[in-house]
Amino acid sequence: MIETAPFGSTGHHSSRVIFGGAALGAMSEERAAATLDLALASGVNHLDTAHSYGHAEVVMNPWLVEHRNEVFLATKTRERSGEAARAGLEDSLQRLGVDQVDLIQLHNLVEEDEWQEAFSLGGAVEALAAARDEGLVRFIGVTGHGLRIPGMHLRSLDEFAFDSVLFPFNYSLLRSDAFSTDVEQLISRCVESGIAIQTIKSVAKSRWESGYDGPKFSWYEPLREAEAIERAVKFVLGREHVFLNSTSDAQVLPLVLDAAGRATVGDLPTDAEMEHDCEQFEISPLFDGADLERI
């Protein structure tokens, strides 16, 4: 069974694996329900989705009718204006069939122009704070991709008391000294302030090879080998205070859940083991120094 831990200062003890709702994007209601049942049976009690995931929120709806009180429910908005962010939140509530979500997150807040708009008068931050005051949401978080995001999160935390952050975290990315330094500063800030720390891309292998024409359930290629996934999961969950958001490739989910059930704080793979995996399974960072793509 997957361990739980305090989700920042929210008062909720979340499973250390958070279910990534993007995995439901192309599923039928029946398959979505089976996937969510698998996660719940493994101890997962925290679901993360987004308005931009579209169909994923819709197929969650019938499952939530029976299980809403068993899970912490989070969604996200990509909107930066207050009016659009409010409209997106209301649409997510309707899709999900709920009156309130536990957490609303500003999705991938990294570009300067978007950051300025979100924090401006009439921007998304102001609107989501008002929605919290009205009881439509309980907490507000911020997410992002790429090498710049830990530094941007630190800047965002200077402007607003977010309840959670989300950023990429795996061994290959942390080979970058600059990224690693920013991550450690962000983690330290969050632990000190009681802010929940969510991570993504834990089982990422690399970007898809040019010319690959097989099925893709994620914008990146995930690891598929059980032993590599085991170490990748333990690399995250071996650290205190850190949560792992599962990949959008549901085929990998059972292996992630299985590995997470054995993960404990302090049980970290060695650098030598992780280096071996990078070489054997051709793991490479998803982001480079330019880091200009909007994902």
Q: Which of 156, 210, 162, 205 is nearest to 182 (CA)?
A: 156
Residues paired with 76 in a beta bridge: 105
Question: So what's the pLDDT on residue 289?
Answer: 59
232: left (phi over 0), alpha (psi -120 to 50) or beta: alpha
Question: 88 near 53, Cβ under 8 Å?
Answer: no
Interval 116-145: pLDDT, tens: 999 999 999 999 999 999 999 999 999 999
Question: 206 near 282, Cβ under 8 Å?
Answer: yes
**pLDDT exceeds cutoff 60 at 270:** yes
Dist CA 39 CA 34 (whole Å)? 9
Q: Which of 258, 201, 264 is nearest to 237 (CA)?
A: 264
Token pair of 165 as six digits: 């952050």
- pTM here? 0.95
Residues paired with 166 in a beta bridge: 143, 198
The model's confidence at residue 288, banded by pLDDT at 50, 70 and 90, is confident
Question: 1 near 261, Cβ under 8 Å?
Answer: yes
CATH code, residues 4-280: 3.20.20.100
Residues paired with 75 in a beta bridge: 104
Rg of the Cα atoms in the chain: 18
Question: So what's the pLDDT on residue 294?
Answer: 44
**For the chain, what is the mean pLDDT?**
94
Question: So what's the pLDDT on residue 216?
Answer: 67
Question: So what's the pLDDT on residue 219?
Answer: 79
**pLDDT exceeds cutoff 50 at 35:** yes
Amino acid at 146: G
